[in-house]
A and B are shown apart, each in its own frame.
Chain A
Amino acid sequence: MDSVRITKIIRDNALYQCLECGKCSAACPRMLAGKEYSPRLLAQKLISERDDEAFIESSVWECLTCSLCQERCPSGVDISRVILEMRALLAAEKGLKGYRAHDGALHSWMRMMTSPDLKQNRLGWVSPDLKTAQKGRVAYFSGCAPYFDVFFAHLQVDTLTIARDSVRLLNFLDIEPVLLKNERCCGHDLLWAGDRENFETLCRLNYEEFKSAGIEEIIVSCPECYTMLGTHMPEVIPGFDIKVTLLLDLLQKEVRKGGKAFRPLETTATFQDPCRLGRMSGCYEAPRFLLGQIPGLVLREMENSGRGAICCGNSGFINCDAYSKNIQVQRLREVSATGAQLLVTACPKCMIHLSCAMRDPARNEKVEVNIRDLTSILARGIEWTG
């Protein structure tokens, strides 16, 4: 392994500040699910025992990248970033190693999107009631939603409903977004799987697509796309000058201005904080504020929520295993314990992973609960008042 680069990764992400207190390992959902897994030990090996390559490799690839360890770290070590950069380093030296869920089908289509000549048919989901513009300065980024909708149809995860409801909400705010015919995957799963080269290609192609359509602002509903377009894409594209807005932030701002209200929804709900929304983008308040605006809806927090929310079990579609399933079932038990009738999430991936655990035919225990995306709940009942 390239020792000089590892030292740089350690320096850049404050890993030398590690106190070896072990809070990261004690908080790690993988560890709590019974796997022998320790971010603290990885830090120690990276700093002082680099010849234990087997240990370092397996630890780097098996992380869920949920950032809970980072949240608990008293020294502010950016562990997720260490994992991200170590994966890119290891992938370049030894090839892509993480076990890819669904045999890598998702990563395959994401890589196919790096072909510049691609002419996608991705807008079949746009129903006639949605108002969209051919030209304009604001675009809505639907990412991989059309693809997930096909691939996960058997889980009844309707990711396109999220896209349609997002456009409905934008229409309500008098925004007619441009829907780009050839936007590509944001590259989240490729980047976190260590495939930096193809991630950068996707970034460049997406940026060209935005620029050639004259887009100045991109609105995204998916937290993963938000971190990619908002944080990682500017690192790849010098002079990145497009504003990236999270739909939830926009809605919170607009609702606060007044004049808008939601129709009542008599239910008890609980909220799953997606790691990319909460811990990576710092957005905890907007979803709770918006849910609080719905009359009749009672929000009951889970035992671990907000900053301490537990991962939905998987990220970037790598390393899904029995421990991931265990984490998901624990999470669903927390949902049942709140007595909520509805599980609300804000990331399509949380919805996919938790639905997958709910519908596991091999499980006797009933952990099924009605799960919906926040955008769908908001779009069903927003109206003007006064």
Chain B
Amino acid sequence: MKRPNLLAICCNWSPWTCLNAAGRTNTQLPPNLRIIRVMCIGRINQALILKAFEYGADGVILLECRDEDCRYGPGPAVGHSNVQLVRSLLDLLGIDQQRLVECRFEAHEKDRMAAELWAFAGRIEAMGANPAKPRQEREAV
């Protein structure tokens, strides 16, 4: 199997600061990880997460602030409830729930973030391809 498609949806504040710091210090991150920056994880709804899987993601990770650090209020809590709901739907579809994870970071935790992302990439690689691949993705493999 080719390398899995990994998607990280990253909050603009603490997690993005971690990513920036990781970049400045040349910390290696999984090369097959695509990152989308959003202003707050609370903006991401169930449809957008499902769409990532529909478009061929093998794993999706939501990088969030901690509850008390959210600039807008309920962001991480909204993220959490969306993840729970999408996980139930993935389970019905027979897609391993571990393909969708959320992780919370403080602004200084670049090393922990790198470690979490590598661990995530390793877990997804071990799981293999997502069984619900859209047609164009299936044909490319």
Contacts and interface: CB of A to CB of B under 8 A. Distances in A.
B47 A103 contact: yes
25 contacts: A102-B46, A103-B45, A103-B47, A103-B48, A104-B51, A105-B45, A108-B50, A108-B53, A108-B54, A109-B93, A112-B132, A113-B93, A113-B132, A114-B135, A115-B138, A117-B133, A119-B94, A120-B92, A121-B91, A121-B92, A147-B89, A150-B89, A150-B92, A151-B46, A151-B89
A112 B54 contact: yes
Contacts of A115: 131-134, 138
Contacts, number: 66
Given A111-B134, A114-B135, A104 B47 contact: yes
Given A115-B131, A122-B92, 6 more contacts: A104-B47, A109-B50, A113-B132, A117-B133, A147-B89, A150-B89
Interface residues of B, number: 21
B88 A105 contact: no
A117 B48 CA distance: 23
A146 interface: yes
Interface in A219-267: none
Interface of B: 45-48, 50-51, 53-54, 85, 88-89, 91-94, 131-135, 138
A118 B131 contact: yes
Interface residues of A, number: 23
Nearest to B86: A105
Interface of A: 102-105, 108-109, 111-115, 117-122, 124, 146-147, 150-151, 201
B51 A117 contact: no
Interchain residue pairs A-B with the least CB separation, the first 7: A103-B47, A105-B47, A108-B50, A119-B94, A112-B132, A115-B132, A108-B54
A150 B51 contact: no
Contacts of A119: 94, 131
